[in-house]
Amino acid sequence: MSNRAMKAKTLTDMVDLLNRMECKLALLYALDRDIAAEDCADLTDQVSTMTHSLDRLTQAVVRANRVNGVDVEYDNLFEAA
């Protein structure tokens, strides 16, 4: 596998991880907003920081995909098979 293809696969894996993190963060946000729980809103600042950081990381991964033409390279892996 070429270096470019390995980058494509790695960045694609990172997108998958980011999507899963986004889902977990949404769950954490909802749990922290549960007014029936005694510890409601105890993670507000941390969830806000994680949301901001995840957004920045996601933007960087999207840019990396564009810079290296990763989508095209990753698609080529399956066309050659």
Tell me what pLDDT residue 8 has. Answer: 87
Question: What mean pLDDT do residues 4-16 have?
Answer: 91
Tell me what pLDDT residue 26 has. Answer: 98
Q: What is the mean pLDDT of the chain?
A: 90
Tens digits of residue pLDDT in 52-77: 999 999 999 999 988 887 666 666 66
- What secondary structure letter does DSSP report for 57? H
What does pTM read for this prediction? 0.82
Tell me what pLDDT residue 4 has. Answer: 87
Domain ranges in the chain? 3-80
Tell me what pLDDT residue 36 has. Answer: 98
Given phi > 0 = left and psi -120 to 50 = alpha, else beta, which region is 43? Answer: alpha
Q: How far apart are CA 62 and CA 38, in angstroms?
A: 39
SS3 state at 35: coil
